Structure 1
């Protein structure tokens, strides 16, 4: 299934003080060894949930300025989460400038601590700073925790787009991150 969303997104529970004090989100290239290790882990999760890896096209250049940004979250120095956004041609929510969330993932040992919610907020902040008006994303029906995270974070269903458009297993969501006008 599409790695645009977290195969292991958290349920949105509050981040405890210990995790908040130690989570550090750093911008890195998608080719960074920590990013690649976490991408391999989420691909293994997709194999377990869907029977195959995500096959949607991803160009590493999409996550470099001015097209997008890629981040790794570190907990006590260990890479535990990823999240990224890339500019998109998808028109949704009356926004002229959109970006697509990609590669959301939190390792199992760090789940249910609010880290996915914190990464999502970071993506929203950095995308808004880059002039993005709305974020869009795709996730799969076999990722109910990801769907719950996005819905509880103010994302709303939007028409399908991209590689998995029309798939019965795919769900797309969007959220305005800046006000119109």
Structure 2
């Protein structure tokens, strides 16, 4: 039965083993094999010469709520599936809550990209999950798929703790979205934004006392959300030693004040250049730059962006980011990058709202071995 018809576009519910669904999943798997292959090392093949599939993440058809095939003028162009995870092992020592569903195998064939079809598929998957009684929809993707990361962030998905068979993979990233608005509440739900006083910015040395105090407050904030960072920082001599080390790369540091009180800080550094671990473009869809930074196309990175929680939603972070963008442009920069932790959905929403999109890991974040970070960039 057709779920949607729009000017030659249909999204149909089919069986898992439908020929079109099987073919589209095979195309997706081939693309994933290429993206995640180690440089210089071809994918492992079996006696038949075909790539050896990872058998860890097999979908049990009995758990499926829907398998969807998107067609354009009758031509199979996209695929998505939704399965029920209620009460099933989350591979983190627990069980998924009731009314939890997972979207799987979201794929649009290469010749049909750039038309918004991935969003159409995701909306159809959300509708199917709601119709089956799901309240929370989760999914898994990887750092080597920045287009997918960007789609999910723009559709209101927030990062969640890793789950499933990929939970121990450092390059895996998981997201979730509440399908029923009343199913989740947060500290900002229904809160009226405070009036925005004027934000004043001033450039300061890295060692400016106000900037140092704000970065210490940032570290206290990060310790609560990322306790696994503490042993490494302590092994390197503690926060002050690490902070001094990071300061050597600073090109420009800014402190934001409200009513004369320092409430935020941010720093600009040069983005790493040199050989990359992949030949793929790290800024797909946001300008076609070949690397984070080269002599002909310099890129910059924002670091240590922090705003006092008491004054958030007052425009401080936006002012700081805009100031860093201006500084990077003034230095001839063509792109601005950042790395942020996945347990900071409020920061991710800010950056996405300001036009930043996921990119591949970039120097000095040269490999996807850090399980905590997401990488974003924006052409200037």
**Above 0.5 in TM-score?**
yes
| SS of corresponding position for 1:163 | helix
| Separation (CA, whole Å) in 1 of partners of 2:145 and 2:111 | 17
C-alpha deviations, 1:109-155, integer Å up to 9, x for none? 00110000011001111111111001000001100000000000000
Equivalent pair of 2:161/2:174 in contact (CA under 8 Å): yes
Q: How far 1:157 moved relative to its partner?
A: 0.4
Superposed CA offset, 1:85-105 (max 9, x none): 10114577xx64110000100
Q: How does 1:39-54 map to 2 (within 5 A)?
A: 39-51=25-37, 53-54=53-54
Change (3 A) 1:20 1:112: farther
Secondary structure of the residue aligned to 1:71 is strand
Q: For the Cα contact (< 8 Å) 2:82–2:128, is it kept in 1?
A: no
- Matches of 1:164 and 1:59, distance apart in 2: 17
Superposed CA RMSD in Å reads 1.9
The answer for the alignment partner of 1:115 in structure 2 is: 117
> Which residue matches 1:76?
73
Determine if contact 1:74/1:81 at 8 Å carries over to the other structure.
Answer: yes
Structure 2: distance between partners of 1:169 and 1:104: 18
More deviation, 46-55/27-36? 46-55
The alignment partner of 1:103 has SS state of: strand
Runs of 4+ in 1 over 6 A off after TM superposition: none
Tell me if structure 2 keeps the 8 A contact 1:43–1:54: no
User: Corresponding residue for 2:16?
Assistant: 30
Secondary structure at the counterpart of residue 72 of structure 1 = strand
SS at match of 2:16: coil
Structure 2 CA distance, aligned partners of 1:145 and 1:133? 25
1:162 maps to which of 140, 161, 164: 164
1:91-130 equivalences under 5 Å are 96-130=98-132
User: Contact 1:25/1:71 (CA < 8 Å) preserved in 2?
Assistant: yes
- The structure showing larger relative contact order (alpha-carbon pairs under 8 Å, at least 6 residues apart) is 1
TM-score (normalised: structure 2): 0.40
Q: C-alpha separation between the residues in 2 aligned to 1:176 and 1:160?
A: 17
Deviation at 1:180, TM superposition (A): 2.2
Report the CA distance shift for 1:122/1:54 in structure 2 as closer, same or farther (over 3 A): farther
Partner of 1:180: 183
Q: Which secondary structure state, in structure 2, belongs to the residue aligned with residue 69 of structure 1?
A: strand
What secondary structure sits across from 1:125 in the alignment? helix
Q: Match of 2:254?
A: none
Paired with 1:160 and 1:168, the residues of 2 have a C-alpha distance of: 9
Q: 5+ unaligned residues in a row in structure 1: which ranges?
A: 1-18
**Counterpart secondary structure, 1:166:** coil
Alignment partners' CA distance in 2, 1:135 and 1:74: 24
For 2:136 and 2:54, how far apart are their aligned partners in 1?
24
Task: Give distance in 2, aligned partners of 1:20 and 1:147.
Answer: 26
Aligned length: 157
2:143 corresponds to:
141
Structure 2, gaps ≥5 residues long: 38-42, 44-52, 185-380
TM-score, normalised relative to structure 1? 0.81
1:61 CA displacement: 2.2
> Partners of 1:45 and 1:167 in 2: how far apart?
19
Structure 2 Cα separation of the partners of residues 134 and 23 of structure 1: 27
Q: Equivalents in 1 of 2:16, 2:169: separation in Å?
A: 27
